Amino acid sequence: MPTPGLPRLVLTPGEPAGVGPELVAELAASDIEADLIAVADPSVLADAARSRGVTLDLRADDGQRRTRRLPGELRYVAIPVASRVVPGVLDPANASYVLDTLARAADGCLAGEFDALVTGPVHKGVINDAGIAFSGHTEFFAARAATDVVMMLATPSLRVALVTTHLPLAAVPAAITALALERCIRILDGDLRRHFALPQPRILVLGLNPHAGEGGHIGREEIDTIIPVLDKLRGEGMTLVGPLPADTAFVPEQLQRGDAVLAMYHDQGLPVLKAQGFGSAVNITLGLPFIRTSVDHGTALDLAGRGTADAASLVTAARLARSLAVTRIRA
Ligand SMILES: NC(=O)c1ccc[n+]([C@@H]2O[C@H](COP(=O)([O-])OP(=O)(O)OC[C@H]3O[C@@H](n4cnc5c(N)ncnc54)[C@H](O)[C@@H]3O)[C@@H](O)[C@H]2O)c1
Ligand SMILES: N[C@H](C(=O)O)[C@H](O)COP(=O)(O)O
């Protein structure tokens, strides 16, 4: 079979004052077998590489698929920042720049220009401070691709997916509707089969309330919404365990029963995953028509420009994106 060449991974460094640009430089210095194309201001990448002590060979992307990339080679699609970047100092003037990089990268994936997207961390607060409503990459790409998605974070031994993502805790119960839960489980089940070679995924579904509602005495969402959806989908052949009390669902004996945990909200599932694997976990958006992986950490403004931030999560995210892209290209 003729080799199609290297997979083309598009990278968005995220918040320019955060650690994202220097981590992209570090990734580019690695020997990952993929072409790397950053959508960014090339001067931000060059400054970040210098601060990291990394030598980059930066060139504009010509759209061609290459068969070889040497460590240090990084292509770029240029988008200029609006305001000079000072590491560690947020500037709302650059919020549109960040979103423009996400939009360009996603559109390139949708058009087949790139094989997968790997994102660095954005600062949600500064984008909102600039007057632009934004709750996260996951929601942004879902809107861009006009599809439903599911956020899942993974370490080598734990996968945690979320029914709801970035919304106030007070808004969570109303967001867990039968429709939303059913859509979420269908996407999770389907993408675990498609991308993770699990022919019959076993999903551990958490309850919303303490003790999964204690038979209705500590909340009724399990009885009124979650159990009926699980029963319906089990009837279609899915393997769904639960709803489980969240406090004991992550003990090793329980985790052995499943391939992924489905948490009802962000801080029900992610603290456990990050306590186990912070810095080397990957965030994957399921349900998109393109592959998107991301770091498990934020902008780490306290570390920006120092050259000490750990690139492990970005490197792991890029390796997973590459592997998923190669599988897709060969299929
Ligand atoms: N993938 C993303 O886009 C993403 C993920 C999480 C948080 N965020 C955003 O990042 C911003 C800051 O969030 P936060 O302060 O809660 O989390 P954070 O991950 O930026 O920082 C938490 C702690 O972890 C450390 N840390 C983070 N990344 C590190 C790395 N690569 N190497 C070493 N140490 C690292 C930081 O120094 C800090 O002490 C927020 O706006 C948040 O929304 C973005
Ligand atoms: N919820 C993610 C986390 O805590 O790691 C993070 O905020 C990034 O989410 P997006 O990929 O949707 O920006």
Separation of alpha carbons 325 and 171, rounded Å: 36
Residue 97's pLDDT is 98
Q: 214 CA distance to ligand 2 centroid (A)?
A: 31
Q: Which residues of the chain have pLDDT under 70?
A: 1-3
Terminal-to-terminal C-alpha distance of the chain: 12
Separation of alpha carbons 294 and 323, rounded Å: 14
How far, in whole angstroms, is CA 72 from its chain's centroid? 24
| Ligand 1 neighbour 127 (Cβ under 6 A) | no
Which residue(s) pair with 202 in the sheet?
A: 239
E-assigned strand segments in 95-228: 116-119, 150-155, 158-162, 202-206
Ligand approaching nearest to the C-alpha of 151? 2
Q: What is the pTM of this model?
A: 0.96
Q: Which of 32, 34, 33, 61 is nearest to 45 (CA)?
A: 61
> Can you tell me which atom of ligand 1 is nearest the CA of 302?
37
| Ligand 2 neighbour 270 (Cβ under 6 A) | yes
Q: Which of 137, 152, 293 to mutate to test the pocket of ligand 2 (most atoms within 8 A of CB)?
A: 137
Residue 212's pLDDT is 98
DSSP 86: B
| Ligand 2 neighbour 313 (Cβ under 6 A) | no
Under a CB-based contact definition with an 8 Å cutoff, are residues 74 and 56 in contact?
yes
Instruction: Give the chain's mean pLDDT.
Output: 96
| Ligand 2 neighbour 293 (Cβ under 6 A) | no
Ligand approaching nearest to the C-alpha of 137? 2
Residue 39's pLDDT is 98
- β-sheet with 282-286: strand ranges across: 57-60, 73-78, 35-40, 8-12, 116-119, 291-294, 282-286, 150-155, 158-162, 260-263, 202-206, 239-244
Q: Write phi, then psi, for 234 (nearest 5 degrees).
A: -60, -35
Joined tokens for residue 227: 């159990």
Provide CB contacts within 8 A for 308, sequence distance 6+.
none
Q: 250 CA distance to ligand 1 centroid (A)?
A: 24
> Can you tell me which atom of ligand 2 is nearest the CA of 124?
13
Under a CB-based contact definition with an 8 Å cutoff, are residues 88 and 304 in contact?
yes
